[in-house]
Amino acid sequence: IPTSTEDLDQEVQELLPSLPKEEGWLTSGICLYQGFWCPDNLLRNVIWAQKHFQSHDQDIILASFPKCGTTWLKTLIFSIVNRSRYTSSNTPLLTTTPHKLVPFLEIDLFDKTELPVDLIGTTPSMSPRLLSTHIPCSSLPESIKKSNCRVVYICRNPFDVVVSWFHFAIEGKPGKLDEEHFESFFKGQVALGPFWDHVLGYWKESLEKPHKTSFFMYEDLKGDIVSHLKRLAEFIGYPFSIEEETRGVIQEIADLCSLKNLRDLEVNKSGSYKEKFANDSFFRKGEIFSHAIWLQFSDPKVARDEYQSWCWGIDVSWSFP
Ligand code: A3P
């Protein structure tokens, strides 16, 4: 096991040329690693996290495919867990971006030149640790699979994911969403793709180990935030008391984390994440264009084909959300 960055970098340099490559979809290059399309620039971090991350029973891991509502779920989980420490007028969410409060394992934490000490030891300095990841279920670090940590997955209907990702990638510049975007998305050759495998990997896990992995839909959260916040809080071990419910604590968290509220905060309107993505690009419209009819298909290929034919029926010159 390489313990220094040089050893690891060398290992990745040797591995990269042997992996199938694609240009990716609205991103830089991607390579096929363990059956998913890993962005070239994250491969090293993913491998390092797989090898060294030490998960603990109290960890709460938020997993998602990009553009499915990750940022929103970060704010909800942070608020649920910290509700006895902060109120909506002094929560760090008012001054710190959600990605800083709930960092990504492979994007934020294992991208340094040294191993992050707090993530590889047997006694973490804080508990619970709120972490997030876009890594598919089958490639999660072994210690996540072995510990009793909780994994919360958020999924969104793929049509809106394509639209959201498109806007995120063009960053407000002129551009047209066309059939090619849908086509490459459906083929699966997108960062962290195939989408279907990502979703169904966690979906199956949530059916097999419901105490460990819980599956949430973006559309369900939007439809009935209060009952889903209750389910979320119970699952992560921070259930709301009857007294809290009557005091309106759940609704208060929902309001604090609403798209409008977060989007209007100065901290989310300015600056950038990883010096690459404008903070405001994570808060756009949050609309639902198509409903989640597709999850009834348990075979990813059937789901993909059905959904693709549904999308082909849509006139792409419509104005998308
Ligand atoms: P749209 O581009 O459709 O508006 P992610 O956080 O996984 O990158 O997902 C981004 C999507 O979630 C964007 O969708 C964004 O607007 C939406 N979003 C961000 N914060 C939200 C919130 N508080 N409530 C609902 N949707 C939110």
- Indicate if ligand 1 lies below 6 Å from the C-beta of 203: no
Q: Say how far apart CA 56 and CA 148 lie, in whole Å.
A: 7
Residues 6+ apart with CB under 8 A from 172: 281
Query: Closest residue (by CA) to atom 22 of ligand 1?
Result: 259
Contact call for residues 55 and 141 (beta carbons, < 8 A) = yes
pLDDT at 298: 56
CA-CA-CA-CA dihedral for 135, 138, 144, 146, to nearest 10: 180
Residues of the chain with pLDDT under 70: 1-5, 26, 172-174, 290-304, 306-321
- Indicate if ligand 1 lies below 6 Å from the C-beta of 93: no
Q: Say how far apart CA 43 and CA 18 lie, in whole Å.
A: 13
Contact call for residues 78 and 103 (beta carbons, < 8 A) = no
**Ligand 1, atom nearest to 164 Cα:** 2
**pTM value > 0.90:** yes
Pocket mutation for ligand 1, best pick of 26, 65, 71 (most atoms within 8 Å of C-beta): 71
pLDDT at 321: 45
Query: Closest residue (by CA) to atom 10 of ligand 1?
Result: 67
In this predicted complex, what is the ipTM?
Answer: 0.99
- Indicate if ligand 1 lies below 6 Å from the C-beta of 262: yes
Find, among 182, 164, 155, 174, the residue nearest to 314 by Cα.
182
Dihedral angle sign, alpha carbons of residues 80, 85, 87, 91: negative
Q: Catalytic residues, which ones? A: 134
The CA-atom distances, in angstroms, between 151 and each of 2, 147, 189, 253 are: 28, 11, 25, 21
Cα 287 to averaged position of ligand 1 atoms, centre (Å)? 9
Find, among 57, 65, 64, 21, the residue nearest to 40 by Cα.
21
Q: Say how far apart CA 229 and CA 70 lie, in whole Å.
A: 15
Q: pLDDT tens for residues 207-226?
A: 899 999 999 999 889 999 99
Cα 216 to averaged position of ligand 1 atoms, centre (Å)? 14
Cα 123 to averaged position of ligand 1 atoms, centre (Å)? 34
CATH architecture of the domain covering 5-312: 3-Layer(aba) Sandwich (3.40)
